Structure 1
Amino acid sequence: MLDPTHLFDYESHVDPRTVRARTLVVTLGSFIDAGHAQRLINDHVLNSLSGHRLGTFDADQLISYREQRPTIVFSGDHFTQYRTPALALHEVKDAEGVTFLLLSGPEPGLRWEKMAEAIAGIVDRHDVELTVLVQSMPMPVPHTRPVLVSRWASSPELIPGNKPMFGTVLMSASFPAMLAQRLGERDNDVVGLTAHVPHYLAEHDFPDAAISLVEGLREVAALSIPTIQLAVAAGVVRAQIGHQVENSEELAEHVARLEQQFDEVARERALAAAEEQLPSAEEIGEAAEEFLKTLGDPPPEAPGAAGE
């Protein structure tokens, strides 16, 4: 029987006993990295913040290479530049010096349960209090509107005020979804953030999605990750998309339809939220009754009136 602790090895210079972090951010692959949001976040975090690799999972035991074929280069008369996929755990400090862990890499195709057990061991070993799974998915939304982020959690208390965008759906499982359930069954706190990426940009870099997920990390985990570089990249991408839309009547019409649909849904959600904030008929009645009672009370004496 495979011991899940044998799936992960720390770097030789790392003493696991010294590593403590409140938050574990997971960007492991799922069905699709729409807008390359996960890759953009990984690159941004590892290149703009201070950190180092703690260790890696054994890809040969976890990755189904026939389903997720790594790349290799054929150069003239030989093969070169083959790289084994990396499922790596990093220790990172945010802009305020707060330590967090980042687990990134492709979705494991094998041994899901053992992988989940190994990650649970990491959570326990490093005193992780909150695991945040970050991902994206293609949706019928326009690039001209703010990027929506769906939130879900192992407990509703972790996402107060959340308004679910979806009902009950039977779907094929992904490893991150299964991991969230397994950690939740152990009473570990888990929050999921999923950015909605315009479906026509799913295969292209869409930094706005990465920015929305970074903002989500700030809200749910209080992590401070600067987004200036991502914002610059997002501005360039928006300009490129705008140019393409201007030169394609068909694309312009499609985006306009998505904008109308997005705005209608936004109005409906705003109205629903406003109605929830209105007091009920019972609450109004109780308030009116209390007010009417005060009308029969004698007016309070003015200061000093009793001594006159």
Structure 2
Amino acid sequence: MTFDAVIVGGSFAGLSAAMMLARARRSVLVIDSGLPRNRFAAHSHGVLGLDGIAGGDLLRQAKAQLLDYPSVRWASDTAMEARATVDGFAVTTAGGETWAARKLLLATGIRDALPDLPGLAERWGHSVLHCPYCHGYEIGGGAIGLLGGHAMSAFMAGLLADWGQVTLFAHGMTLEPDEIATLQRRGVQIETEQVVALDGDAPQLSGARLADGRHIDLRALFVTARQEMGSPLVEQLGCVLDENPVGVLVRVDAQKQTTVPGVYAAGDATVMGNITLASAEGVRAGVSIHHALVAEDAAPKAA
């Protein structure tokens, strides 16, 4: 069987795209490994009408609703290889299945490459965080830190000052005089000593330990992890990637099509965002894929 679309990734972007195609009565296969990016966070905030819901609960509810559509199939598997064929694309999974599709959507997200700092990984998504809009309000103010060392550090530190009393740990970076002045106006403390470990009973955080032995009290630490592609399929297919201050994103056009015709991408792999933005991008991709399928179906057939 050849599906109208195979969607790799069953998180918010993938599910939203699949819903649009299912409602257009198109055949869809979703391949999902069950490892969404936000699995480390207990709750998801800033989702309109669902503020504070557990991300896993929201995904389970969305999946159940999607599978009520008879044209949708689900494969709990990991897509390992994708290639172009005469009729579209073929996707092979770790379980040994090969699935054919006219169109392919990569909703595979990104992988957060965390700094190699003792105590950081076990607190990720709990007291070590990446998005103040997702988690900042729940910290409740007080002492918070930002682990610097990247191009966005000064900007982020100034932004975080709306959520607490911020210490920017320069972590080896050099700040420009105008950046220092701006941070001072925002009440941000600058610490030049290297952070060597995080303290406290994980996943909670009591503070950062510095190379000179000092301990800086913190309620939370924000980290901008470098973003890497969550799946090898993007590069296997030859999709162009664009650099951004914290990693790479898949280049897409207004219809969410990549530089490879017939291959679309949506979600965290294409835009730095959150659940709401990923879902919206998935809707756009699903509608665009449907438009492309209709155009193909309506085109004159070769004699």
Q: Which has the larger radius of gyration?
A: 1
TM-score (norm 2): 0.21
Higher strand share: 2
TM-score, normalised to structure 1, is 0.21
